[in-house]
Amino acid sequence: MLNENHIAVVKSTIPLLESAGPALTQHFYQRMFSHNPELKDIFNMTHQKTGRQSVALFEAIAAYAKNIENLAALTQAVERIAHKHTSFNIQAAHYQIVGNHLIETLRELVPDAFTSEVEEAWTAAYLFLAQVFIDREEQIYQANENTDGGWRGAREFIIERKTPESALVTSFELRPLDGKPVANFAPGQYLGIEVKPSASEHVEIRQYSLSQASNGESYRISVKKEGAQESEATYQGLVSHYLHNELQVGDSLMVYPPAGEFFYQATEKPVVLIAAGVGATPIQAMAQTLSEQNKSNVSYFYACESEPQHTFAKETEQLIKQHNWQHQVWYRDQHGVMDLAQVSQIAVNEAEFYLCGPVAFMEHIVKQLEQLGVARERIHYEVFGPHAYL
């Protein structure tokens, strides 16, 4: 049971955590994978190599310690992480493993400061937070299982169609092997995909945004082929290369139910969709949904490196013409980076803005929107991979 003394002790360790930095979580992951190598079939090992996951976990731990008296401040983070966990099929037993390695990491890295009082406090704090996640994730699992067309855990799907959308992005239309309906989803959400690439020692799970509106029968994901060279596939783009190069129409893969807390929320206000590169995937699901709703007050701004890399170019053009939406495109090799000052009549005082793309791009756009007077609560965004705050 978490008590006032535990809270005080945890807060007193914040300077210790900050001095350790991401080295703490790097040690944690090394320790955990050494003792529990089976978890390599769940965690994205590419993010381990780049260090992104270690940084994200450290930021999450530090945020928890700083807000342990005000967990309401972490509600959005808890929701985001809980959804991501369900797409990995994380179970309550995994929290016991993680908790053990977290405590042992603290013991090994800061033995002088890791007194029995600190151990008791952090153990109580971890168990409290773990139960928050376990309870919320069980709610999501049950909701997925009980909804029309829903299921729990992995479900086998067949690749019905592969469609190139640009020089780097290919869409995969997936239908369930059992032929039964599939659950609807909110435009902007993603699927967890489980595969066993020939180049990997492990089962690999990745999340890919759903790139079309719900239809109750199939799903479409659109995947960028990461890594400039085929030789890089073992480090960057392991799964995307496998999907592009090896999986063919008729092959199967395991799919976890739709998840994600980033999605379009119905409104009478104007909606501005902003995407860069493969960030167009969740935005495309929103655009299709808005089209089906015959929403007229929509703007769609898109940026990419060059015209051959323009994802969903023809599909988007049809939507724009059908509804006469405001639209503008920036190709970096021709027009430079996206500059919203070049766009006339953006409804900055009332519109809801949905962003997706590389972190640097979204930081660039958020800065522009704030300069235009757009309140942060009207800016919604998705970061692919470990979360980063804009």
Active site residues: 95, 137
Contact 165, 171 (CB under 8 A): yes
Q: What angle do CA 349, 352, 357 make, to 5 degrees?
A: 120
How big is the chain, counted in residues?
390
| Amino acid found at 367 | K
Whole-angstrom Cα distance, residue 179 to residue 158? 10
Question: Buried b / exposed e across 223-239, counting CB within 10 Å, b at 16+?
Answer: bbbbbeeeeebeeebbb
Q: What is the DSSP string of 165-217?
A: -SSSEEEEEEEETT--------TT-EEEEEE--TT-SS-EEEEEEB-S---SS
Contact 251, 159 (CB under 8 A): yes
Whole-angstrom Cα distance, residue 34 to residue 117? 28
Q: Which sign, positive or negative, has the C-alpha torsion 137, 139, 144, 145?
A: positive
Sorted by sequence, the CB contacts under 8 Å of residue 76 that are 6+ apart come out as: 261
Whole-angstrom Cα distance, residue 376 to residue 76? 14
| Amino acid found at 62 | A
Whole-angstrom Cα distance, residue 18 to residue 24? 9
Tokens of 19: 């001095």
Give the E-state strand segments of the chain in sequence order. 155-164, 169-176, 190-195, 204-209, 219-224, 252-259, 271-276, 298-304, 326-331, 352-356, 379-382
- Helix (H), strand (E) at residue 109: helix 92-109
Sorted by sequence, the CB contacts under 8 Å of residue 297 that are 6+ apart come out as: 269, 270, 271, 347
